[in-house]
Amino acid sequence: MKCLLFFLSLIILSGPPATAQTAATQTATPIDPRHITIARDSFGVPHIFAPTDPEVAYGLAWAQAEDDFGTLQLVTLLSKGRLGDALEKKGAAADYTMSLLRCRQLVEDQWNTLSPDFIALMSGYVQGLNAYATAHPGEVKYKRAFPLTQQEYLAGVVFSISIFCDVGTVLPRILGGKVATIPGFSSGAAGDERGPKGSNAFAFQSSRTTTGEAYLAINAHQPLEGPTAFYEAHVHSDQGWNMLGGVFPGGCLIFHGTNENLGWAHTVNNQDKVDVFQLQMNPVNDNQYRFDGQWLDLEVSTVALHVKGIPFTIHKKAYWSRYGATVKTKKGVFALRTPANMDCKALEEWYRMDKARNFTEFYQALSMTSIPMFNIMYADRYDTIFYISNGKIPRRNPNPAYHWSSTVRGDTSATLWTTFKPVTELPQYLNPPSGYLFNTNHSPFLATDPRYDLDPRKFDPKDGFEIYDNNRSLRVREILQNFDKIDYAGFKRLKFDRQLPARLAYPYGIDTMMQLNAGDYPEWKDIITHLQQWDHQAVASSQGAAIFLLIYNYVAGKLGGSPSRQLTKAESLETYRYVYDYMMKYFGTTDLVLGDIQKLVRGDDIRSASGLPDVLAAAYTEPYKKGLRKVTSGDAYICLVRYPKNGLPVIESVNTFGASSHPNSPHYKDQEDMFRRQQMKPMTLDKEKVLAAAEKIYHPG
């Protein structure tokens, strides 16, 4: 089931509330593509202009399809519950989980609550996808991918957000027997699968910058390619929508970026997003569970799965209890309850954020509490900065008998939460006296100068908010310690920093390996010495970084379920032996630097790469070939914004490779050299400037 993480690509966006009647009767207005202008800049980034928001969404879909239609077809198959047609058993697993979570049923049940504006926007985007497929039949690899309906599209959104909200981690743990069980129900043990996460966000008020502007850094660490790699776009309508930033393939508007007045960055947070309940089953009827002293029947449905290469339909049962999606295992019967598949209006909230003109409107959008996760870092032209550990947080029973961070008994309405906390109860900062805010996926209670940090004791521990630092947060504090004002060059250095902090905060106690006496181990002396003399810089020319890269991945694989356990001396020696054997096997020498092993790969182009896990300019790798490791995620789309008091924001950005996924396109990797050199390109929200400098201007079709 871990393959489900591949399908996060539909984190998309939305609009204002409406009455049930108007939403229910909303019909799709056909869009004339002649009203839409797509301007490609010198890097191939699309700037879409049209009179209305739906027309712009149509143009965004068309531009995305031009650049990466193959990925979009996987997105549409996912939305239709037919991913098995393309990805065989892995795709069918996603199709089954989508049915298990009842994503389509949720959309149907809540459809009449959606805003007409959002439905119109979504209709425009879906029309654009379908129109591109009709106009380019030779590019359609999967016949069942089109036409796509609005309901299917939104169901795919709900599924993707649910996977992002830890269902893709928790469900495999349940199926693998790795969750705690309730005494008397069955037995088992829980594992800690919290792995490294990335993303950085910084905001500075003008009082802390030398230019007198507010600064915002947008820097989500994502995969470099595929359905969850950020696609850069600029959308501009005559209805007040002018936004530039990053969106995943399949996104109908900008996920995070900036408009004329304000912008925000997202980072992943780790609050408790999924509760697991164990059901007490009837010993004489395995389809009944006990609830408030009565035996209730599980709801049972049959999911029809279509798997490429198998000429018949596979049928699998899906179960539902009062707690939600339910699965049967050898360890017992468990239900997952997550706010992510209880509210289909997350996109509507994002749409409101996209079109907000000031902080009051932005906060009003957040008050919908339909986005079930993500830290939000905000800055605007009015010198407001803001940070919130956002989420759709249930009101859980405070009874200490219920262990919400583990498995909860699922036999009583006392554990069946049904209401959620308002946005005002979430950890948040507005214009702290320090004048700056930051988040690197660490604790929301460590977000600024310690004198002004929030007190975690004032928040409910059942909500699971992070209380820890990581290497990146420690490093930010090192850089900002005793600083007065930061200039723009220093702001960029902060974002692109590759230095680890003086005190390492990696799991598994890896830094203890540096304490061995190199002279006691002649065979590994050079390796141990290079590691001990390493300056903790994650640069391609570093020998110590090369050794650390191999150590980190080996130890993470060995102790993946126990990140808090310290390495023993024997395990440390075993790890050094592994590093020595690896280097000799693949390279015939231990005299290697990080760039000899770690590579940035785009098609046939292979370049040395800097970065390590959990540095500010992070890199995460997977085995590639001949001992090389390929960077697959980490520092990717970066957007830095300055907000002067007057005029449009000043924007610079860079993406890992380029705007196009086609190897024969000039924009397949035209940003790669800039990315490696940590340089950026200027961008603008000014329509006249975009059109004057555009390399190509055209209408869809």
The pLDDT value given to residue 7: 32
DSSP structure string for 113-160? GS-HHHHHHHHHHHHHHHHHHHH-GGG---GGG-SPPHHHHHHHHHHH
The pLDDT value given to residue 198: 73
The pLDDT value given to residue 183: 63
What is the pTM for the complete model shown?
Answer: 0.92
Confidence of residue 497 (pLDDT cuts 50, 70, 90): very high
| Structural domains in the chain plus CATH codes | 222-235+253-271+346-400+414-495 (3.60.20.10), 507-612 (no CATH)
* Weakest mean pLDDT among 11-20, 132-141, 405-414, 634-643: 11-20
Confidence of residue 177 (pLDDT cuts 50, 70, 90): confident
Average pLDDT for the chain: 91
Spatial separation of the C-alpha atoms in residues 666 and 538, rounded to whole Å: 30
Distances (CA, A) of 180 to 189, 286, 334, 350, 399: 5, 21, 11, 36, 19
Question: What integer is the mean pLDDT of 175-204?
Answer: 62
Question: What integer is the mean pLDDT of 375-404?
Answer: 97
The pLDDT value given to residue 180: 74
DSSP structure string for 438-468? EESSS-TTSSS-GGG---GGGS-GGG-----
Amino acid at position 508, single letter: Y
Contact 345, 352 (CB under 8 A): no
The pLDDT value given to residue 184: 57
CA angle 581, 586, 588 (to 5 degrees): 75
More confident residue, 508 or 89: 89
DSSP 8-state class, residue 572? H
Contact 381, 645 (CB under 8 A): yes
Using a CB cutoff of 8 Å and minimum separation of 24, what contacts does 101-104 make? 101/158, 101/159, 101/162, 101/167, 101/324, 101/325, 101/341, 102/320, 102/325, 102/341, 103/155, 103/156, 103/158, 103/159, 103/162, 103/341, 104/151, 104/152, 104/155
The pLDDT value given to residue 186: 40
More confident residue, 53 or 562: 53
Question: What integer is the mean pLDDT of 239-243?
Answer: 97
More confident residue, 192 or 442: 442
Distances (CA, A) of 175 to 179, 191, 421, 524: 9, 13, 30, 42
The pLDDT value given to residue 10: 31
Residue 194, pLDDT above cutoff 70 = no
pLDDT in tens, 394-441: 999 999 999 999 999 999 999 999 999 999 999 999 999 999 999 999
The pLDDT value given to residue 36: 98
Residue 11, pLDDT above cutoff 60 = no
Question: What integer is the mean pLDDT of 305-326?
Answer: 94
Residue 326, pLDDT above cutoff 60 = yes
DSSP 8-state class, residue 177? T
Contact 63, 38 (CB under 8 A): yes
Going by DSSP bridges, is the β-strand pair 605-608/619-623 parallel, antiparallel, or unpaired?
unpaired
Confidence of residue 181 (pLDDT cuts 50, 70, 90): low
The pLDDT value given to residue 188: 30
